Amino acid sequence: MNKPDFSQRRKKLYTAVKEGVLLLIGTPEPTGLGGAGKFYQNRDLLYYTGFPEPSAAALFKPGSGKPFTLFVQPRDPAAETWTGKRFGVEGAVEVFGADQAFPTDQWPEKLYEALVNEKTLYYRWGEYEAADAVVLQVLQRLRREQRADKNPIRVVDSGEATFPIRLIKEPGEVELIRQSAAIADKAIRRIFAETKPGMMEYQVEAMVEETYRFNGADGPSFPTIIAAGEHATCMHYAENSGHIKPGDFLLVDTGCLYAGYACDVTRTFLPGGGKPTAQQKTIWDAVKAIQDAMLSKCRTDISLCELNQLCQRVTAQKLIELGFLKESLDTVLEKNLHKYYFPHRLGHWLGLDVHDVGSWGMEDPSLKLAPGMALTIEPGIYIPADAPPEAATFRGIGVRLEEDVVITSGNPDILTKGIPYAP
């Protein structure tokens, strides 16, 4: 597969920024058990530079003769003995196309210099506390030392410039998500074949994640959820320590990370075959009907915000039909009564992150779906163990079904459609 054209991505970024300075901070050195953790580069910095090492930073100033500056860890033979070779300042220019590069500790001073006579700083507060403090010091220094007309007059979330570009996936990105989904397909088919009542949830988790690594993936794109029976009524259950009892539905919500790109898929099924109870089948069929309806709406005339609102309405109506809610549809929606059984949104963006670009644009009804956007469609119905009497015979049943979708000019491209729903 062709390597991403980072220079073209940066050109799009310069058009979005137009004026001012944009600063991206890379992920610091990871820490974990034994002092070393797995490293995942800040997704914005990775997308626009490709630079893979910790403690980096990137400064973009479109109006400059050298618009792209990288700050990287310098070469250090002693440190590299333990952590592997670094590209260093020279490699940042020669390999990654930086117009200039400096050691990491110089970014505060270079940011100060770049901001003189500029009115806008694009920077994302709240990602890295230590970097936030340094940026604030730079802004305070400018305020003290420069005339008022030479100070930045606004700080804009860098995501306002970086996220819209990332939201439209390049063909190569779509193929990487598709390959990620193909590996998840292998994992789910394996657990369909091998999971039996009496097993532990963590044994299923182990099968899933071993399949990912065995097939060349980076690992899971988020903590794997293996939720048997009542555990499936907890949205982000990740303890995975319970027994799978005979007759339990098993909810498997998992994502594979392949070459940096994530998939996210959920299936709910009855391990070991057998026939679901009437109550289990009723809830499963209801969720599948909602999912089918939402997938059919994944077109360019609707926003993710509007799609979610539609899903809330369709789900609320389904819950009324099931007898779980007694009020009118308008009352249920006005009071959010359906949220007791469906507490989350329909879906989220997908890409370099399993929740790609966070929640950006998800509440904007004017941001219509466009070809290249990747998202999940994941309705669910969850009946807690203490549900009201109206749902008493359904207590402890949780069902979620999830597909990964890429928007096209016609029918949606469902990347996970080949993954079976049941053994």
How many CA atoms within 13 Å lie on the side-chain side of 216? Answer: 7
Parallel, antiparallel or unpaired: strands 68-72 and 100-103: parallel
Q: Specify whether the CB–CB gap between 38 and 71 falls below 8 A.
A: no
Q: Measure the N-to-C terminal CA separation of the chain; round to a whole number of Å.
A: 33
State pLDDT tens for residues 275-318.
Answer: 999 999 999 999 999 999 999 999 999 999 999 999 999 999 99
Q: How far apart are CA 221 and CA 409, in angstroms?
A: 28
- Fold for domain 168-414? Creatine Amidinohydrolase (3.90.230)
pLDDT recorded at residue 1: 59
What SS3 string covers 233-259? Answer: HCCCCCCCCCECCCCCCEEEEECEEEC
Q: How far apart are CA 24 and CA 20, in angstroms?
A: 14
State pLDDT tens for residues 219-245.
Answer: 999 999 999 999 999 988 989 999 999
User: Across all residues in the chain, what is the average pLDDT?
Assistant: 95
Structure tokens at 287: 């969720």
pLDDT recorded at residue 149: 67
Instruction: Among 3.30.1360.70, 3.40.50.300, 3.40.350.10, 1.10.10.10, name the CATH number for the domain at 6-166.
Output: 3.40.350.10
Report whether pLDDT(157) > 80.
Answer: yes
**C-alpha pair distances (Å), 412 with each of 149, 406, 415, 416:** 50, 6, 9, 12
Report whether pLDDT(33) > 90.
Answer: no
State pLDDT tens for residues 193-208.
Answer: 999 999 999 999 999 9
**C-alpha pair distances (Å), 297 with each of 13, 187, 271:** 31, 29, 31
Q: How far apart are CA 421 and CA 192, in angstroms?
A: 9
Q: How far apart are CA 233 and CA 226, in angstroms?
A: 12
162 compared with 82, residue with greater pLDDT: 162
Helix (H) or strand (E) holding 47: helix 43-49
Rg of the chain (C-alpha set):
24
Report whether pLDDT(35) > 70.
Answer: no
Structure tokens at 91: 């490699």
Report whether pLDDT(397) > 70.
Answer: yes
Report whether pLDDT(152) > 90.
Answer: no
Helices (H), 271-353: 278-296, 304-321, 329-335
**How many percent of the chain have pLDDT more than 90?**
88
Report whether pLDDT(334) > 90.
Answer: yes
Q: What is the chain's length?
A: 423
Residue type, 23: L
What is the domain partition of the chain in residue ranges? 6-166, 168-414
How many CB atoms lie under 10 A from the CB of residue 65?
7
